[in-house]
Amino acid sequence: MKDSTTGFILAGVGDVNKDGNKNFFVVDTRTPVSQIEEAFVDFTKERNDIAIVLISQYVADKIRPLVDKYTQAFPALLEIPSKDQPYDPQKDGVLKRVQKLFAD
């Protein structure tokens, strides 16, 4: 997750507002699940300056009940692969919803 975050920051996507709030959250092996949940709720419910939440699938797996309950259109929630963990499309809630829309 650190590599993905660093890449986005270098691309100019990262921001720290005047109140010191970051529009990103770095997760590593020592990050407690409670902090991940708190950041997810903050980005998806509390903040109005977030349009897209990108979350590595292995991090989403740690808070899967919250991720699966999330149904809002904005901010958009996208699970992305990580370089160290394989991506499983069967776990991706957005992909599941899209497949249901196009199912015959």
The whole-number average pLDDT for the span 82-100 is 76
pLDDT for the residue numbered 98? 74
In this predicted structure, the answer to whether residue 100 has a pLDDT above a threshold of 80 is no
- In sequence order, what are the beta bridge partners of 56? 80
User: Can you give the residue range of the structural domain that contains 55?
Assistant: 2-102
Q: pLDDT tens-digit profile of 31-54?
A: 999 999 999 999 999 998 899 999
- In sequence order, what are the beta bridge partners of 54? 78
Residue 19 vs residues 12, 23, 92, 104: alpha-carbon distances, Å: 19, 12, 33, 49
- Give phi and psi for 20, each to the nearest 5: 85, 10
Q: Which of 39, 91, 46 is nearest to 72 (CA)?
A: 46
Question: What's 19's domain CATH number?
Answer: 3.40.50.10580
Q: pLDDT tens-digit profile of 50-85?
A: 999 999 999 999 999 999 899 898 999 998 888 777
In this predicted structure, the answer to whether residue 3 has a pLDDT above a threshold of 80 is no
Query: How many domains is the chain partitioned into structurally?
Result: 1
pLDDT for the residue numbered 104? 59
